[in-house]
Amino acid sequence: MAIQFPKWLFGSKLNSSFPPSRSMYEIRIKGDFAAAHNLRDVGGKCESLHGHNFAVEVAVESEGLNELGMVMDFRLLKSKTRAILDNLDHRYLNELPFFRGINPSSENLAAYIFEEIARQVDEGSRRVSWVSVWESETSRATYRRAEK
């Protein structure tokens, strides 16, 4: 089924240059989880066991839209993200295999979540562009795909 745009937007015929050939779409969803961790060898309070109510934002980009006129269904992205966050929720992050050799910092959490979602979402020009993890209202870490 073709996307029907209002005639007032493009006139009676769809503009063949829409969308621009170098366009990029981006969708974002938010999620959260609660977990405990301690950071090793950083000095200060964060070396002690403590917890956060983490907030997570995931962005997915695409040069084009699927047959339904979407980058992907928000519901599907939320479901895939929720499954990953559920594996972190109410856990002691230091005990998870991924974090046994590295600090479970917000930066490393963002990288972990990014890689887990990218494995499930990246297809064609659609790909995870970045993941941000907040450990508080004022502290956020973002992991983004390196430019080629």
Does 73 have pLDDT greater than 50? yes
d(CA 23, CA 48): 47
At 61, give phi and psi (nearest 5°): -120, 160
How far apart CA 74 and CA 27 sit, in angstroms, is 8
pLDDT in tens, 9-30: 445 444 445 555 567 999 999 9
Q: What is the DSSP string of 29-56?
A: EEEEEEEEE--TTS-SGGGS-EEEEEEE
Instruction: Show the domains of the chain with their CATH numbers.
Output: 22-144 (3.30.479.10)
Pick 39 or 7 by higher pLDDT: 39
Looking at the chain, the whole-number percentage of residues with pLDDT higher than 70 is 84
The tokens for 107 are: 């930066």
Residue of 143, 130, 124 whose CA lies nearest to 29: 130
Cross-strand pairs, 92: 36
Residue-wise pLDDT for 132-141, tens only, equals: 999 999 999 9
Is residue 104 scored above 70 in pLDDT? yes
Query: Model-level pTM?
Result: 0.84
Please state the separation of Cα 141 from the chain's center in Å.
Answer: 12
Stretch 40-55: mean pLDDT = 96
